[in-house]
Amino acid sequence: MVLLAIESSCDDTSVAILKDGIPVSNVVSSQVSHSIYGGVVPEMASREHQKNIVHVTQLALSEANCVQSDLDAIAFTQGPGLQGSLMVGASFAKGLSLGLEKPLIAVNHMEAHILALLIDEPRPSFPFICLVVSGGHTMIVLVNDWNKMEILGGTKDDAVGEAFDKCAKLLGLGYPGGKQIDELAKNGNPKAFTFPVGQVPGFQFSYSGVKTSFLYFLKEKGEEFIQENLSDVCASIQHALLKPLLSKSRDAMKQFGIQNIGMAGGVAANSRLRQSMKEMASNESWQLFIPDFQYCTDNAAMIGRAAMFKWDMKEFCGLEVVTEPRLKIGS
């Protein structure tokens, strides 16, 4: 079975080919033009998708040693994401589906992030707890099956990835800045400075307050002090942003008595978070699962993996399906 999957929810144009559920190509074209604006410009993102999607598709087919006639189904990201970007991917997928007379499969972007844990060995068995952390989402999910997921809690305001990028922008590190903070923090003291993170009940998160605190800190200390202590500042703000992710993941594991925990989304590539999760899992005798780096950020292979479950159940969609940026996990 040969599946072509398309991911276009934000600013990465990605196409993957999966053969019997295994990715044989996973091409991602990232849009660097947004960096000068300090964030993704939706209109620009959709135009770039239009420019890139044909070339990225041809490259994915070539790397997989396939042609369009080999395809058995077409999958695409239905949502959530930027509406214009989603429409480009959906329209292209519909065109292929119609032209090749092949089934069309719509995939929830956040479900795909979680199911990326099932691409490679070792794979978690159901049920498991998954911490989903990205630029647009921060949530803890109870995963009972591939199509039975319960959101235990999410962010009340900003996602942790957004907080990373905004703090990096305040430091003048550019966009996207989460990776730059991670690199600088490796040489810093995470307890050099204290930044308060919003205290919210249950498995919810709040990151709007810490950004304000960080802004006031930078203004008070001044640019010269910040540059002289940049590694410590980065390590300290990273520590503040990651602390609730770890503590609430631990709480969820203990409340539900589950032994398998996973982590997914772009922020799952953060080296400090990965190391801290490994240490926590080891101390608690839990099994930790994290996707390969290429499957953490937005990519089409994860869309294809999620689509394979729907293929097996013959859960296809028609050409009338619309993009929906507010789909709920498990819907």
pLDDT tens string 203-248? 999 998 998 999 999 999 999 999 999 999 999 999 999 999 999 9
Interval 115-168: pLDDT, tens: 999 999 999 999 999 999 988 889 999 999 999 999 999 999 999 999 999 999
Torsion angle, alpha carbons of 177, 182, 188, 192, to 10: 70
319 pLDDT band, cuts 50/70/90, is confident
Number of Cβ within a 10 Å radius of residue 153: 18
Do 260 and 135 share a structural domain? yes
Tell me how many domains the chain contains.
2
- The helix (H) or strand (E) run that includes residue 293 is none
d(CA 51, CA 233): 39
pLDDT of residue 136: 85
Q: What is the pLDDT of residue 331?
A: 42
How distant, in Å, are the alpha carbons of 65, 175, 237 from that of 229? Answer: 51, 21, 12
Indicate if 144 and 239 belong to the same structural domain: yes
pLDDT digits (tens, 9 = 90+) for 244-267: 999 999 999 999 999 999 999 999
Q: pLDDT band for position 326 (50/70/90)?
A: very low
44 confidence band (pLDDT: 50, 70, 90): confident
**Are 139 and 167 within one domain?**
yes
Same structural domain, 74 and 168:
no
Distances (CA, A) of 280 to 139, 183, 285: 18, 22, 8
* 322 domain-assigned: no
Question: 227: domain CATH number?
Answer: 3.30.420.40
Q: What would the two tokens of residue 32 be?
A: 């660097």
- Residues 169, 254, single domain; the answer is yes
Share of the chain above pLDDT 70, in %: 94
Placement of tokens 């991917």 in the chain? 89
Taking the C-alpha atoms of residue 281 and residue 128, their distance in angstroms, rounded to an integer, is 13
CA 214, CA 238: separation in Å to the nearest integer? Answer: 11
Q: Is the pLDDT of residue 329 over 70?
A: no
For residue 136, being part of any structural domain is answered with yes
130 and 277 assigned to the same domain: yes
93 plus 139 within the same structural domain: no
Phi and psi angles of residue 39, each rounded to the nearest 5 degrees, phi first: 170, 170
Same domain, 252 and 175: yes
pLDDT value at residue 299: 96
Among 91-95, 255-259, 325-329, the least confident range: 325-329
Same domain as 138, residue 108: no
Beta-carbon neighbour count of residue 232 at 10 Å? 19
pLDDT at 135: 83
* pLDDT, mean of residues 28-52: 75
74 and 212 belong to one structural domain? no
Q: Is residue 319 part of a domain?
A: no
Q: Please report, for residues 17, 109, 135, the alpha-carbon distance to residue 4 in angstroms, rounded to integers and kept in the order given.
A: 5, 16, 25
Residue 321 lies inside a defined structural domain of this protein: no
Alpha-carbon distance of 142 to 330, in angstroms, equals: 11
Max Cα separation, the chain? Answer: 63
Tell me if 149 is assigned to some domain. yes
Q: Is 48 part of a structural domain of the chain? A: yes
Same structural domain, 277 and 303:
no
Write down the mean pLDDT value for the chain.
92
Domain that holds residue 143: 122-290
Which has the closest alpha carbon to 108: 76, 151, 72, 145?
Answer: 76
Pairing between β-strand 22-30 and β-strand 12-19 as defined by DSSP bridges: antiparallel
Residue 329 lies in a domain: no
Q: Can you give the pLDDT at residue 93? A: 97
More confident residue, 322 or 237: 237
Same domain flag for 106 and 136: no
pTM of the model: 0.92
Q: For the chain, list the strands marked E by DSSP.
A: 2-7, 12-19, 22-30, 73-79, 104-108, 128-133, 138-145, 148-154, 260-264, 287-289
| 106 in a structural domain | yes
Mean pLDDT of 78-86: 92
**Which pair of tokens denotes residue 7?**
């991911």
